Amino acid sequence: MCKKIVIAIDGPAASGKSSVAKNLAEKLGFTYVDTGAMYRAITYLAIRKNIVDDVDAVIDLVKNIKIELKFENGLTRVFINGEEVTEHIRTPEVNAKVSEVSRIPEVRQELVKIQRKMGENGNLVAEGRDTTTVVFPNADLKIYLTADLDERATRRHLEYQEKGNNVSFDEVKENLKKRDTIDSQRKVSPLSKAEDAYELDTTDLTIEQEIENIIKKVEEIKAKKEMQN
Ligand code: CDP
């Protein structure tokens, strides 16, 4: 039997990781692990419980809840203790706090455990900030996705408009900038390009072109693995 294939994708906020990872997972029939959705879910719950600025309470929260991701029809559904929170985790309020929650080492420790568990049984595509460096350092294919800040802000702003959310372009851009700074400067598992990651600047690429590029690489890996069997 062919050994499982792990694809890990990291990159700054709104660089297109989710679109690429979802599309790949669907095309290849792989499990999709959206690590950002987990950090967002904890942040959402902490805001709701009014404890988001209390580090000890957030740590207590993350140690005592069950987070589940279900990837269905191109959508990651997120559940905390069985309650669906999918609709609540991508709001400006969560965006404003998620990087602060994500810099807490104990929060990362707990979530990384769950992420690795999801990757135990088969082929998978994981995406986030530390999937190529910390969660799956032995991934078969590592990708670092980037795009210009203005392009990323334009894409995210459009997503908000499509959902009827009235956030200004400038606010979106400021939030991306702020999250990138915290995410890449924190002490534990900062966002960085793994040495062996393949860097893809998506500023001028369409999603189809990106996927085509990556599928070619996955085919090469598959062929290599088959030769080794
Ligand atoms: O979709 P977008 O790029 O805006 O963000 P995301 O992937 O949903 O991640 C939201 C936030 O979670 C990031 O800004 C990070 O603070 C945090 N995160 C992290 O610290 N480590 C990960 N592996 C994934 C996300």
Which residue minimizes the CA distance to atom 3 of ligand 1? 13
Please name the residues in contact with 93: beta carbons below 8 A apart, sequence gap of 6 or more. Answer: 47
Dist. CA 128 → ligand 1 center (Å): 6
Query: To which residue do tokens 């606010």 refer?
Result: 171
Per-residue confidence in pLDDT tens, the chain, 229 aa = 457 899 999 999 999 999 999 999 999 999 999 999 999 999 999 999 999 999 999 999 999 999 999 988 888 999 999 999 999 999 999 999 999 999 999 999 999 999 999 888 889 999 999 999 999 999 999 999 999 999 999 999 999 999 888 899 999 999 999 999 999 999 999 999 999 999 999 888 888 888 988 999 999 998 888 888 7
Dist. CA 39 → ligand 1 center (Å): 7
Query: 6-210 has which fold?
Result: Rossmann fold (3.40.50)
pLDDT at 1: 47
Query: To which residue do tokens 């499982």 refer?
Result: 4
What value does the mean pLDDT of the chain take? 94
Specify whether the CB–CB gap between 134 and 187 falls below 8 A: no
pLDDT at 2: 52
Domain-wise residue ranges, the chain = 6-210
Single pTM value for the model: 0.95
Q: Is the CB of 11 under 6 A from ligand 1?
A: no
Q: Is the CB of 103 under 6 A from ligand 1?
A: no
Query: How many CB atoms are located within 10 Å of the residue 63 CB?
Result: 11
